[in-house]
Chain A
Amino acid sequence: MSDLLDVRGLVTSFDTASGWIRAVDDVSLIVGKGKTVGLVGESGCGKTVTAMSILDLLEKPAGHILEGEILFKGEDLRKVSAKRMREVRGGEIGVVFQDSREILNPSHRIGKQLINAIRLHRKISRKQAKMRALELLDAVGIPDPRRMLVSFPYQLSDGMRQRVMIANALSCDPDLLIADEPAMSLDVTVQAQILDLIDSLKEKFEMGVLLITHDLGVVAQHCDDVVVMYAGRIVEHGSTRRVYSDPKHAYSKGLLFSMPRLTNVCKHYFQTIPGHPIANENLVSGCRFCQRMDRDKSVLLRTRPEYLEVWGDHWVEVCPECYKG
């Protein structure tokens, strides 16, 4: 087993007023050691739910994992005890959540939050934990770590707070880092700093990184592999270079074309994907992207499209309308 994280056929469902919704429908992905995998898709496609399923952080009792295996270092996280899961989460798997403002406790100083998190996973003294916290804050490029320890979250800028979140995620030398939109609400200049930081730390600690984002530019620069999700399913996955140079699925193509680029000419029209992501309530069993495109009903698949390996490790969902050989 060389793969750090191997998710196989994950199905996550939510019990809502309008029935069971399969927010994640048969998702498989692999994150190797020292690799970054980008999970992209529009909002509501199930990226975050996938991450939360891996971490066993689904909102209960509404959310359930119905099927699939989540193998982390060969151990199925669905089968382990709650105690072991607590050790894994935050210990062996570090997490950076989307909104640092909501995650950090506003009434405790940064130092206290970091030290507590470290001591939760390691049997070390408060003093040692404090040294470790200082070390971490220094590693994520915070100018004055000592002052940071006694600051409250509201005193920090968004970029600084995100760095504290990363320091927190790294506090127990994780093998895998799950970063859910780590730089979404930040300015490009700060965003670039944060992502470069994750890259350099990945190399230093030989982590695997699962980077969840909707920014295809970020994926191009920072990920080895890319997984494109639409409406709970993976439509295409492969190495970033393969997928970007030769996208096979109509949805991946659409996403790449509708992206604003600096290399495009000024003031020009985009090629876009018509419609908007479909609501999870009325999903069809056939190809879901066809549903959005309002294609002719007679040509639609009735059953779920199969996967085809078009190239070494480049997989695509083959629907006759969305994938033209």
Chain B
Amino acid sequence: MKNKGSDLLEIDGLCIHVPHRSGFFRLKTGVVKPVDEISLKIPPGKTLGLVGESGSGKSALGKAIVRLSQPSSGKIYFEGRDITRVRGRKLRALRKKIQMVFQDSKSSLNPRMSVGQLVEEPLRLQKVGRGWQRRARVAELLERVELPRNAMRKFPYEFSAGQCQRIAIARALALDPKLIVLDGSVSDLDVSIQAQIMNLLLDLQEEKGMSYLFMSHDFSVVKHMSDMVAVMYLGKVVEMAPAEVIYQQPLHAYTKAFLSGVPNPSPFEQQAPIALQGDVPSALNPPAGCAFGHRVGHVRYEESLGQELPFEEVTPGHWLLRCPCCGPI
């Protein structure tokens, strides 16, 4: 199937269902659904911010997009082509175009390789240029991510967390990808370093016109990066809208609760207390019906039982998981 719209990445009803086995005979006792019926689009040169608490399935989705894991159903289209099941040489060619930066950059960099080798690795594996050309490219990349010149011969342990993140970004940039999946890439950093990395990412996007899928559990960080924002809860996207809209008029009860939980950095405004209890329920035993209505104990939760909740466009560009308890009536 070719030419499905003009979007760079389109995800259609993607599911990752993993059988859960337990006991001596490893009998199948249930199905874990880290990603359940997700549909998203990322236009070229734009950023989609994906927010959700830990355990909501953000990383599982990211890994499926870069094809580190195999989705169980649904389709992923990249540049109009179905990439859900590409293999071998085609997959390798695809890796040039989609790259990922992981949350913990320190552990994602091989401690036995020098920074020069690390940044060169993607070029080497894709057989781009000759040795001296690759080394020139590495120097250029390190300069672009504002690392010192002598970094090339050093090893990851000699760098701070923020600098390791820069190395990981340089690695991802090496092949000039069209899409970078950023999985919580700034969340472990101090505010001043976090701000530097985010400025760098914004600069690079302007320069090269890449798209980002920016995943984080911090709503305020996502606001600084995104054109579109999707909110994930327990494997499902509950709401998706242009960034300005979602922050001003959130519709889903979960989005509202999540937004109210972000600490307000002004000591003069009292933060509204949030009506949210407990943790995200386990994906192994998700409640029947609306998962969020279950968590807050909504009075109309019963109505959502046994229903298939539709993901609908409420106003142009604003998508919402319709359910009797959490949305507007």
Contacts and interface: CB of A to CB of B under 8 A. Distances in A.
Interface of A: 42-43, 143, 157-160, 187-193, 196, 214-218, 220-221, 240-241, 244-245, 254-256, 258-262, 264, 266-274, 276-277
A262 to B, nearest CB: 5
Interface string B70-97: 0000000000000000000000000000
B262 A43 contact: no
Contact of A192 (B162, B191, B261, B266): B261
Nearest to A159: B279
Contacts of B163: 276
Contacts of A214: 190-191
Interface centre among A187, A245, A254 (most CB of B within 10 A): A187
A221 B218 contact: no
B190 A188 contact: no
Contact of B224 (A157, A160, A241, A266): A266
B264 A221 contact: yes
Interface in B249-304: 257-259, 261-268, 271, 273-274, 276-280
Contact of B53 (A189, A216, A269): A189
B261 A191 contact: yes
Contact of B220 (A158, A241, A255, A262): A262
A217 B262 contact: yes
What 5 pairs across the A-B complex have the smallest Cβ distances?
A: A217-B263, A258-B195, A270-B195, A42-B190, A187-B53
12 contacts: A42-B191, A187-B54, A189-B258, A190-B53, A190-B279, A244-B267, A258-B195, A266-B244, A267-B47, A270-B224, A271-B195, A277-B190
A191 B264 CA distance: 13
B188 to A, nearest CB: 9
Interface in B165-217: 190-196, 198-199, 202, 217
Given A187-B53, A189-B258, A189-B276, A266 B223 contact: yes
B262 A267 contact: no
Contacts of A256: 265
Contacts of B123: none
Contact of A262 (B54, B195, B219): B219
B247 interface: yes
B243 interface: yes
